Structure 1
Amino acid sequence: MGSEFWDYCQESCIDIYYASVAHPKCNGQVERANGLILQGLKVRIFDPIKKYGAKCLQELPRVVWGLRMQRSRATGYSPFFMVYGSEAVLPSDIAFGALRIQNYDENEADATRCTDIDSAEEHRLTVSIQHARYEEQLRRYHDCNVHERDFNVDDLVLR
């Protein structure tokens, strides 16, 4: 963080923002994701009779997998779909013989995968439109429930 670095940033029109990686409160998305993981773990490992220290490590992959497979309300797609372009085959699909497992054809799989990859950009565009609609709905809901307040000098306020 010497003066040479600051000079270079000013010459290159680079804005510097500080963020602390050690404190998740600096990043709202990370804080929300950590909260969802902890919420999922608490439900799975809490047992007042038994000790549950090591059980956390066993349940963590299942909780993370569940979060990756859950459809987002904002986008309408799961994070797994957004990364790979198709939904994952679940163990329950294999165990109970879902239609897509029964109709699976090895010869068509490559062609279907190429089609999925080609349509990925179209899905991303759909997701961006859906996300914009969702944010607009949130904005409208927030604006309807926010009431304007005026404060005068000597008013008592809670900080």
Structure 2
Amino acid sequence: MEELPHVLWAHRTMIKSSNGDTPFSLTYETKAVIPAEIGMPTLRTAEVDLAQKNEALGINLDLLEERREEAAIREAKSKARMEKYYNSKVKNTSFKLGDLVYRNNDASRTEDTGKLGPKWEGPYEVTEALGKGAYKLRDRDGKQLPRTWNVSNLKKCYIHKM
């Protein structure tokens, strides 16, 4: 419990990579003075002219909104960069009606096949595409499966229809 204030202080005074600034400086428009600097005299704390400091703080507070907007723009750019990286790794997969697919055995949880059991079961036929990667399936006997299946739990089956 004694360490919590120090952890919070460190969090508020660390530069965030997403916006290039500290939460403390975006709130108060000034650099934070660490507790160690308050206890011992340093150039930063010893040579402070309070009248000039208050005037500078007033000017900084006037410019605070502009700095916050710049930080928001940098953060949006950072998020767009992360999104672009993530989306470059995603494989777009879709199935048409009548396609044969295998379904993931872990997702179906019909039976525990153990470590050496099959990972995929099927083939199943896609009977309906519901949008956003959801599909209705039917087995080889023509029996409709009771729920929808997400594309992440399906993979294309490359055998000919019988």
Larger Rg: 2
Find the partner of 1:135 among 79, 85, 100: 79
How far apart are 1:99 and its partner, in Å? Answer: 4.1
Q: CA deviation at 1:86?
A: 1.3
Give deviations 1:30-57, integer Å, cap 9, x for gaps. xxxxxxxxxxxxxxxxxxxxxxxxxxx1
Other-structure match for 1:61? 5
CA distance in 2, matches of 1:106, 1:121: 24
Q: Deviations for 1:24-82, whole angstroms, at most 9, x for unmatched residues?
A: xxxxxxxxxxxxxxxxxxxxxxxxxxxxxxxxx11111111111111111111111112
Query: Structure 2: which amino acid aligns with 1:60?
Result: L
State the alpha-carbon separation in 1 of the partners of residues 88 and 9 from structure 2: 36
Helix, strand or coil: the match of 1:147?
Answer: coil
Q: Distance in 1 between matches of 2:89 and 2:42?
A: 45
- Number of the residue aligned with 1:83: 27
2:6 aligned partner, one-letter code: R
TM-score (norm 1): 0.56
Cα RMSD of the aligned pairs, angstroms, is 2.1
Q: Give the aligned partner of residue 103 of structure 2.
A: 156
1:146 corresponds to which letter in structure 2? V
Gaps in structure 1 of 5+ consecutive residues: 1-56
Greater relative contact order structure (CA < 8 Å, 6+ sep): 2
Find the partner of 2:17 among 38, 59, 73: 73
Q: Which has the higher helix share?
A: 1
Cα distance in 2 between the residues matched to 1:93 and 1:131: 30
Write the distance in 2 (CA, Å) between the matches of 1:61 and 1:75: 24
Shift of 1:150: 4.1
The aligned residue for residue 100 of structure 1 is 44
What's the offset of the Cα at 1:90?
0.8
Give the letter aligned to residue 131 of structure 1: E
Measured in 2, the distance between the counterparts of 1:145 and 1:64 equals: 35
1:140 and 1:85 map into 2 onto residues whose CA distance is: 32
1:67 maps to amino acid: H
Letter in 1 for 2:103: L
Aligned residue in 1 for 2:69: 125
Higher strand share: 2
- Tell me what 2:140 maps to: none
